[in-house]
Structure 1
Amino acid sequence: MLKYYDELLYYAYKLVGDKERAKDIVQETYSRVLEIKDNRKIKNQRAYLYKVVKHIAVDESIEEQKLKSTIFQEDITLSIKTEQPEEIAIKQNQEEIFMQIVNELPQRTKEAFVLFTVDGYTRKEIAKMMDITSNAVEKLIKRATIKIEDELSKKGF
């Protein structure tokens, strides 16, 4: 029976497209056939080995598809989460508090912070727009960030 190993490996590889999986399938094939061989006589060993290889490959493919489907379904189930009314209210409250803190910043600090974080301008672009140095922009953004973090922590966020 071992004389068919290489051709069975090639056949399994053609079925699954992965050499390591093909080796596992052929090994499982020999294991199953040896168990059966003790109980009954196999007339055409080569044909029987091919049949078992195909059966194992199909079974593995079905199991793999089930697993992928299950994972996909779990992803869908976990990703579909609707916010509850109290979560929406809390989120709106947090946004209002955040905006209140930002609006209380000094004008130049607020302008640099908003241009950087909301509008996405670079420090260099902001420096040109505000007619200051990039270093000054960095300091304004840092001051704004520190002030916002301090105020949020005071309010329990």
Structure 2
Amino acid sequence: MIRYYQELVLYLSRTLGDRQAAADVTQETFLRLLDRKTGERIEQPRAFLYRTATNLSIDLHRRTRVRRAEELETLDREGVLDERCPQEEASRQQQLRLLQRALDELSEPCRQAFLLRKVEDCSHLEIAERMGISRDMVEKHIVNAMKHCRVRLKAWGGPG
């Protein structure tokens, strides 16, 4: 079965358009194979692997689509700080202090992904490479950080 690993990664890379996601789905495919409860012999192992991988990639696509229901672009537009109102410097300073407090509550990887995106304007791929994680994990960290900051700012009386 292992001989199909590279073949499956290449197939999924073309299908998903993301080699890291393809490697993740391939790994999950093999984990599913190992976790099978029945001891039945698989008559067509290659077909079994491809069917499992295809199903997992469909699941990934669905999860990504659901996650994108609250698109990152929308979150970006909402912004945490409103820089269009320079006359409200005191209010912005307060917001900045609250934001820093909210960021301090995040895990290090979550905070790092958020700051790389929002402060250094890195792409998700650049962040994934710098942090050694998948692009999906980068997106999860950024979305979680945005949601956390929004909730905390709202709870503390700032704009959420």
TM > 0.5 fold call: no
TM-score normalised to structure 1 length: 0.44
Superposition TM-score, scaled by structure 2 size: 0.43
Larger Rg: 1
